[in-house]
Chain A
């Protein structure tokens, strides 16, 4: 089938059509067809779908446990962020509830994963602006958090750790000490990040006022997560629709009014600190107890449907599961934040300069695999 996006090629005159991606150092697993007039972008047509695997349909052929490793594939850098809403939805269908300790450990894992994902984003954003040190530093520091998560989940990135009824295994006894040591170190590193990157006049010259998203547009396009918070809306699913035990911890929602690339960056940087604050509070709240409500036999959902929204690293992750009482779910619908960001990207790119394309594109933290599912 001829791609509809190709029609943009027909424009003549001084305009140049660039295919940025899927084999381009600054694209990721998708293509964006950019029409430039001089240095300005006059048309931007995203062409996603290069990594579409039909994760939703495949989920119908797997049972509730098999779906956990399957559904974390789209966003392996935020593995807990994408499996947690699935498990919460599945728990509603199966009608089990995880004990408090499991809920707390889930929060720790979710926040660790948020940090891991944000650091990955930050590293790539650094290299997208041509700042190679900002690429290496977060990628190096990310390993510390991966080590922490590995000591709980057992693998580096694909943990498959959260299961219906609780979590797979308890966390190690010395985890609190290790984590606090890492946090102390990382809080110093955040200051260094600010010195070398966020307070760098050249960095703010590249990002301030670039890709400014209007508050109303953001709501109209359904943008979620950090991108929405950068427009001045303190929306966070962790507070708006509390899940796990997020209502017992106290944390701030970092917001900025400007809505430009710089605001999106600084919001994510502050979220790193907030995630660590949440984990520190959880360490004080967590008490010994069971970590799993054991379910005998094969998990079968009650006939019916359920949905849950959570705050993943990129924004609101929504799962809707329909069950007909079989061991496999009848339908799994995933609504991912990245796809909404893609819609926003087209609006932001048109009218900006070609050199601003990476600065805008990656400031939205668009993850093609997540959007394609």
Chain B
């Protein structure tokens, strides 16, 4: 595979040494089987071991898994199957990875796999198979052997890491579109790594802009944890796709200050959307002290715009008072609130409301919504949009209000 065009060495060299990127792994279940105890326990365990775990959840198709691996720029993919369908589904995932140009990602499989099936899976290119009774430590051991080697973009092996699959199309099937998507994804990682050196640079670090700047917008979604930011973003993405617009999501979740690990689970909410070439989704871990957004996020949004994703949605880690950095990198800040058991707007929330360009009142069908709405009307001078079971058009209204650039 040809190397992607990279940022100038002067920009990346210092930071690449300064901080080694955490190993990123996508965990997913393919097929119909919903037994997710194992995959959830492994996700927690790997996070606690310092990895960045992108949790894809159940009911994934091979193509959706491949898109997750590419968009998330993951080095590893962990598949869990307790359905006995591993000899059918795992080769399909490997083929989908090849189609997407992600033939260098390494794959591990967990679940109910009889000994006699382990060798065929290894032959197909699976790096490890873990059955019941596996200690998390032994999985970490295999993954972190690779994490010691920092990936250099120029050194992506030109031949396949995995042997050829029988009866499966060869790796040369990856199209130009697939390759440019992969390059975009790696560029985003670079921008994230290169902080803060690159922050000073111009944002034009990407090629192939397809839309005039005026149709581009970046919208941040802020609000306390559990208020339903991810669900709202999922609905906004679906609405944008209904309108045939391309959209990217940069979803931020906290990184553990102790282990550096992170469990990034926001993709799950868009399960039925993927695979979709018109939706780019990247999960980002936010170190503490970064004001609720990942380093380099403004540059990433610019890069996505230039790559044809007109709308970029940023999910913050629940901003608090004083976290205003997000205002500098987006066009609109949407603050999400929902009715809670009887309390009125607290002062800490009032601080958050100050940065809002639009307030969304979620779950407007719950008791207490009316009261919260009138309190909001008294407190803020920006539009309040209500979304709920009885307000299905709220998402559309929100998007229409987000058109105007600040």
Q: Do A and B come from one complex?
A: no
Q: Which residues of A contact B (CB under 8 A)?
A: none
Question: Which residue numbers of B lie inside 8 Å of A, CB to CB?
Answer: none
